[in-house]
């Protein structure tokens, strides 16, 4: 089985001459089907540039990049766009939604680009919307949604083409912790239950710890590429650090327990 993504000696330089900036240097990386991979670094260290190159959103200056064994650097623009649209899905920190369009219209967009027939477009879009539990919001304008709902719409849009790989760039960066944990669970459910390869770009160490692998970038170079062993299915950040409930009912139950009172 071919890796879904294979990069060899990948480099990216912005600018020329005295102003040239080496964003990526000699990146060698293989990502296999079904993996969950965290690309971790501080801001400005190259993690987003690496994601953009791996996702065919930017062109490396040198090196080779293969997608499912196919050399992407040899593909013409139209084939490259088709490959990206059919194989990859994207979830960004910024929602990049048309606020005046409905949830359904936003989710339909990748299917329009790929040339899917209208009847099939609606069926696939509704399935994706149901997957993220927003069926009741399908006809709602995007501007009327909460931040968490908007991010779920973005995930629906990302998976509507049934991609092999889902890229998530700081997917919880604009969300509160409780909403962020719901998004994390949804992403990992897609990875565990549907076999979608998940690549997360983040500076969040707790989120990175949930992945199968951690790749650490410093100054455009991979300095760590390590497996993360999980004895059980990883929990979300909240579930892994759950504090006891502090509701009146919980307090009463605690007092009864001390007194030896049973329900």
**What share of the chain has pLDDT > 90, as a percent?**
57
For the four alpha carbons of 229, 233, 238 and 240, in that order, the dihedral sign comes to negative
pLDDT value at 245 more than 90: no
- The single-letter DSSP state of residue 114 is H
Instruction: For residues 34-39, give the mean pLDDT.
Output: 96
For residue 11, list its beta bridge partners: 62
- Between CA 130 and CA 153 the distance in angstroms is 10
Please indicate whether residue 10 or residue 179 has the higher confidence score (pLDDT). 10
Residues 6+ away with beta carbon under 8 Å from 223: 216, 217
| Lowest model confidence (mean pLDDT) among 48-52, 174-178, 218-222 | 174-178
Instruction: For residues 95-106, give the mean pLDDT.
Output: 90
Contact 156, 107 (CB under 8 A): yes
**What pTM value is reported for the model?**
0.82
Band of pLDDT at residue 41, cut at 50, 70 and 90: confident
Predicted confidence at residue 244, as pLDDT, reads: 37
Q: Average pLDDT, whole number, for the chain? A: 86
Contact 57, 201 (CB under 8 A): no
Sheet holding 221-227, edge to edge: 88-92, 165-169, 197-202, 36-40, 213-218, 221-227
Predicted confidence at residue 130, as pLDDT, reads: 93
Predicted confidence at residue 2, as pLDDT, reads: 83
For residue 141, list its beta bridge partners: 102
Band of pLDDT at residue 126, cut at 50, 70 and 90: very high
- Between CA 124 and CA 108 the distance in angstroms is 8
Predicted confidence at residue 242, as pLDDT, reads: 36
The two structure tokens encoding residue 14: 């912005």
Q: What domains can be seen in the chain, in order of their start residue?
A: 34-43+82-259 (3.40.50.300)
Band of pLDDT at residue 99, cut at 50, 70 and 90: confident
């Amino acid at each position: 089985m071919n890796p879904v993504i294979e990069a060899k000696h990948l480099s990216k330089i912005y600018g020329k001459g005295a102003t040239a900036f080496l964003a990526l240097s000699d990146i060698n990386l293989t990502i296999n089907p079904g993996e969950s991979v965290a690309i971790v670094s501080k801001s400005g260290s190259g993690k987003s540039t690496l994601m953009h190159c791996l996702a065919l959103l930017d062109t490396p200056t040198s090196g080779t990049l293969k997608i499912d064994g196919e050399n992407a650097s040899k593909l013409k623009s139209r084939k490259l766009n088709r490959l990206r649209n059919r194989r990859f899905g994207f979830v960004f920190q910024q929602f990049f939604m048309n606020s005046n369009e409905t949830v359904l219209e936003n989710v339909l967009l990748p299917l329009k680009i790929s040339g899917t027939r209208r009847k099939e477009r609606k069926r696939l879009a509704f399935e994706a919307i149901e997957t993220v539990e927003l069926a009741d919001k399908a006809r709602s304008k995007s501007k009327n949604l909460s931040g968490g709902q908007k991010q779920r719409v973005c995930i629906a849009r990302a998976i509507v083409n049934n991609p092999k790989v889902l890229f998530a760039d700081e997917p919880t960066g604009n969300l509160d912790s409780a909403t962020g944990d719901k998004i994390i669970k949804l992403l990992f459910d897609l990875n565990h239950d549907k076999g979608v390869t998940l690549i997360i770009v983040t500076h969040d160490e707790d989120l990175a710890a949930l992945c199968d692998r951690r790749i650490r970038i410093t100054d455009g170079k991979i300095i760590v590429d390590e497996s993360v062993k999980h004895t059980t299915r990883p929990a979300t950040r909240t579930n892994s650090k759950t504090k006891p409930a502090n509701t009146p009912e919980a307090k009463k139950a605690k007092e009864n327990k001390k007194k030896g009172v049973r329900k």
